[in-house]
Chains A and B, each alone.
Chain A
Amino acid sequence: MVKKKAKKKAARRAVRKPEAEFPKKHRIEVEVNGVKYTHEVEPRLLLVHYIRDVLGLTGTHIGCDTTNCGACTVLMDGEDGRWKAIKSCTMFAVQANGRRILTIEGLAKGDELHPLQKAFWEHHGLQCGYCTPGMIMSALGYLMINPNPSEMDVRKGISGNLCRCTGYQNIVKAILAAAEEIRSSGRPIL
């Protein structure tokens, strides 16, 4: 009996031990949708989990979790200061230290939807809606590179995003309409 208990205790210690000495948590400062946050994070925490579970911004979705589907797409400022679409399931939160991030929640200005959001609504660019935040953020990243795309360009631009309802026709229409709207308004894309 005593032996059994000691064994159990040793086993528990063996499980706990690595956690106690490793890994070290890291302090990160990030700005998400204009709000500054500071947190202590474990290195293995993925950016998408940080956004969803720590910040509570659940508009960014997790689809495939294998860098294929693009549901987790957000914008992050690059080394050159420009916004870039990235897959937040394929980056560690600790790497986002000092960066600015924009998620779908940061797109609308008060009650006024972003032209891309409006166009997805008007052109029925969604069915179940699961891929939509990623599609919109991806389209936004692409329109920043190419504000006057052809239909083929748009299809290439969102090739990293999957819509399992296969609603691509209207998604492409919506992005083309939004591009036109942004160009004719003369306003900056963001």
Chain B
Amino acid sequence: MIPKQFEYFAPKTVGQAISLLKKYKEDAKVLAGGQSLIPMMKLRLAAPKYVIDLNNIKGLSYIKEAGGVIRIGALTRHAEIEHSPLIREKLPIMAEAAEWIADQQVRNLGTIGGAISHCDPAGDWAPNLLALDAELVIQGARRRVVKAVKFFKGPFETDLKPTEILTEIRIPLPRGGRVGQAYMKFERKAGDFATVGVAANLLLNDNNEIVKAGIGITAVAPAPFRASEAEKILVGKQPTAELVEQAAQAAADMAQPWSDLRGSAEYKKEMTRVFTRRAVKRALERAGVTL
């Protein structure tokens, strides 16, 4: 399969890339890892006239820690997050999530910034960034920082304007108390997009009460979302099997899945309940609580 003809640009700086975006607007597409864009171009689902390749811009690929925040450059490959010693030590849920993305080859090219900007409704990063209270740094005419909950708007639709580029992902490291995090994904076959995926991020105090809960869910709504109703049920309580079950039901009630080859809407709703329960349970186990 051969994509439609296009003009190729390889800017050396973010500024140059943004100038090109300003010039060509909707006729242009930004190429990061290309693992979604290129298949779409080959299938002619996308036929941009201008492709702006970010891969020659230095300084967009890094994983750093500063002031209790992990900062990941938008051009960082999934595999780099998967194998990063810093991530494995400080934020292992991100390595766990990376392992679920497609396969080795795709993870070697695909980037976190590209995946998030593409905003596939079944992507694996979004539920994790939602659960972890991530912030996204966006560069356009000026720089702005937006919370993950405000970023994912709909299928393939984000808060990004056509003349903006996502440059950094910031994830606050959990502080104090006991932390438990887990990402559970239900997939039909190895490397597939999620039928449903649930990320849970819990913080417990010394009285064994849940003081903070973040639950991000993918693939069962037009855009990945935070299961705020489930979080409300958990916060301020001591975890019990019944409480977790209630939260899982609340998460399933918020899901708006559609029927497709991965299952009927009804089935996906049920799997949302099951996988929310499992993700919360595993997060609790990691925080030292066995139900």
Do they bind each other? Answer: yes
CA distance A161 to B191 in the complex (A): 10
CA distance A22 to B7 in the complex (A): 7
Residue B6 contacts which of A23, A84, A85, A90 (CB distance < 8 angstroms)? A23
Q: Are A67 and B5 in contact, CB atoms less than 8 angstroms apart?
A: no
Closest B-chain residue to A49, C-beta based?
B2
CA distance A145 to B8 in the complex (A): 33
CA distance A80 to B196 in the complex (A): 34
| B residues near A18, Cβ cutoff 8 Å | 5
The DSSP consensus for interface residues of chain A is mixed
Q: Are B5 and A23 in contact, CB atoms less than 8 angstroms apart?
A: yes
Most buried by B among A86, A90, A157: A90
| A residues near B55, Cβ cutoff 8 Å | 95
Q: B61-101 vs A: 1/0 string, CB under 8 Å?
A: 10000000000000001010001000000000000000000
Q: Are A65 and B42 in contact, CB atoms less than 8 angstroms apart?
A: yes
Rounded to whole Å, the gap between the CB of A42 and the closest CB of chain B is 7
CA distance A95 to B41 in the complex (A): 15
Q: Are B106 and A87 in contact, CB atoms less than 8 angstroms apart?
A: yes
| B residues near A142, Cβ cutoff 8 Å | 104
Verify if A63 is at the interface (C-beta below 8 Å from B): no
Verify if B102 is at the interface (C-beta below 8 Å from A): yes
Verify if B109 is at the interface (C-beta below 8 Å from A): yes
- Taking CB atoms and an 8 Å cut-off, the chain A residues in 73-128 that contact chain B are 73, 78-79, 84-87, 89-92, 94-95
Residue B42 contacts which of A66, A79, A158 (CB distance < 8 angstroms)? A66
CA distance A113 to B136 in the complex (A): 48
- Taking CB atoms and an 8 Å cut-off, the chain B residues in 93-150 that contact chain A are 102-106, 108-109
Q: A17-53 vs B: 1/0 string, CB under 8 Å?
A: 0110011101000000000000000111010010000
Q: B167-191 vs A: 1/0 string, CB under 8 Å?
A: 0000000000000000000000011
Verify if B154 is at the interface (C-beta below 8 Å from A): no
Closest B-chain residue to A94, C-beta based?
B8
Verify if B38 is at the interface (C-beta below 8 Å from A): yes
Verify if A147 is at the interface (C-beta below 8 Å from B): no
Verify if B19 is at the interface (C-beta below 8 Å from A): no
| A residues near B79, Cβ cutoff 8 Å | 84
Verify if A141 is at the interface (C-beta below 8 Å from B): yes
- Taking CB atoms and an 8 Å cut-off, the chain B residues in 24-78 that contact chain A are 31, 34-35, 38-39, 41-43, 51, 53, 55, 61, 77
| B residues near A86, Cβ cutoff 8 Å | 105, 108-109
- Taking CB atoms and an 8 Å cut-off, the chain A residues in 127-165 that contact chain B are 138, 141-142, 145, 156-161
Rounded to whole Å, the gap between the CB of A140 and the closest CB of chain B is 11
Rounded to whole Å, the gap between the CB of B276 and the closest CB of chain A is 25
Given A22-B7, A26-B8, A92-B8, A70 and B34 contact (CB-CB distance below 8 Å):
no
Most buried by B among A42, A66, A159: A159
Where the two chains meet, the residues of A that have a C-beta atom closer than 8 Å to any C-beta of B are: 18-19, 22-24, 26, 42-44, 46, 49, 65-67, 70, 73, 78-79, 84-87, 89-92, 94-95, 138, 141-142, 145, 156-161
22 A-B pairs (CB sep. < 8 Å):
A22-B5, A23-B6, A24-B8, A43-B6, A43-B51, A44-B5, A49-B2, A66-B43, A70-B103, A85-B104, A86-B108, A90-B106, A94-B53, A95-B34, A95-B53, A138-B104, A145-B104, A158-B104, A159-B104, A160-B104, A160-B105, A161-B103
Q: A23-B5, A156-B190 are in contact. List 13 more A-B contacts (CB 8 A).
A: A23-B6, A23-B7, A65-B42, A66-B42, A84-B109, A85-B104, A85-B108, A86-B105, A90-B106, A95-B34, A157-B104, A159-B190, A160-B103
Where the two chains meet, the residues of B that have a C-beta atom closer than 8 Å to any C-beta of A are: 1-8, 10, 31, 34-35, 38-39, 41-43, 51, 53, 55, 61, 77, 79, 83, 102-106, 108-109, 190-191
